Amino acid sequence: MWREEDCVVSEYVRAALEQGKPVVALESTIISHGMPYPENLQTALQVEKVVRDNGAIPATIAILKGKVHVGLEREEIEYLSKKGKTVWKCSTRDLAYVLAQGLDGATTVSATMVIAHKVGIHFFVTGGIGGAHRGSETTFDISTDLIELGRTPVCVICAGVKAILDIPKTLEVLETQGVTVITYGQEDFPAFYFASSGIQSHIHVDRLEDISRVFAVNRRWNLSSGLLVAVPVPRKDKDIADRIELGIQQALEELEEKQLTGSAVTPFLLQRIADWTGGDSLKLNVELILNNAAIGAQLAKHYAHYPMGA
């Protein structure tokens, strides 16, 4: 059985939860593995500020010396920023091991969802979720994020699925897992760097209060699956988009040559795309995360108006 002493909840997050204030969970993999220092520190602090500016309390989640921490202090965020990729990249699969061994762990989408749900946080903001990789019909390389969305009732706000993945297969897996997927503000499902993937979303909603109401019904009916809210990247720069597309094709060719598989695939592809675009893809990444943080905080605020979250 999960024990409260295994989890350190910061005073400001605990107070917000007890008072029924809107709280937004944030992952820590983006700090340790997503970008170099000091950009990772600056981005993490910016994301928390955006959440606060939009009326919610940020709760960055990580594992420090074998204990789950919900709501990191600045020095803890700085510690993860400087440790970088030496910190264990922790998905749901890795949680028990990292905790048992007393290690530091940066939580991915799936692990952050599990922890947020355990402590009563309903909303979680990230950049983009993992998905079904290209060729997954033979490799079975499908992200734990999709499975966790099917069994953990958290509302995840993202910029869709990374364009390096197989988006149609990803959406099929989400449908099989019973996950409600909503695109905010447009009909086409977004693809991380790209506002549109060219694939029409099953559901699109134009008002944030309506999305919060959908999640409230999800919780009232005790559905086991989460809600995925896909938010298009705000800046639609065709020049950057074209260069990113070329970078993706180049990176996929290199990937095939190197025969990389598993958890090494996504970091390799994203780094090569960043190299190809001279860092412009990284800037766009930061922009979309900040935009998602604003949307996530507003959704949490709307949701807080429903009695008992429903």
pLDDT greater than 90 at residue 211 = yes
Domains and CATH numbers, the chain: 4-309 (3.40.1790.10)
pLDDT for position 274: 75
What mean pLDDT comes out for the span 46-75?
98
Write out pLDDT tens, residues 128-176: 999 998 788 887 889 999 999 999 999 999 999 987 789 999 999 999 9
- Kindly list the distances between the CA atom of residue 207 and the CA atoms of 182, 185, 204, 211, 229, in Å, as whole numbers in the listed order: 11, 8, 10, 7, 12
Helix (H, G, I), strand (E, B) or coil at 152: coil
pLDDT greater than 60 at residue 74 = yes
189 secondary structure, DSSP code: P
Helix (H, G, I), strand (E, B) or coil at 180: strand
List 89, 162, 169, 301, catalytic entry: 162
pLDDT greater than 50 at residue 37 = yes
pLDDT greater than 60 at residue 308 = no
pLDDT for position 190: 95
Write out pLDDT tens, residues 219-271: 999 999 999 999 999 876 666 777 777 777 777 777 777 766 666 666 777 77
Confidence band (pLDDT; 50, 70, 90) for 310?
very low
| Active site annotation includes 175 | no
List 27, 76, 78, 148, catalytic entry: 27
| Interior/surface letters 197-229, b for 16+ CB within 10 angstroms, e for the rest | bebebeebbeebeebbbebbebbeeeeebbbbb
Cis peptide before 190 (omega within 30 of 0): no
pLDDT for position 217: 95
Confidence band (pLDDT; 50, 70, 90) for 309?
very low
Comparing 41 with 255, which gets the higher pLDDT? 41
| Active site annotation includes 27 | yes
Region of poorest pLDDT, from 180-189, 191-200, 253-262, 296-305: 253-262
pLDDT greater than 80 at residue 286 = yes
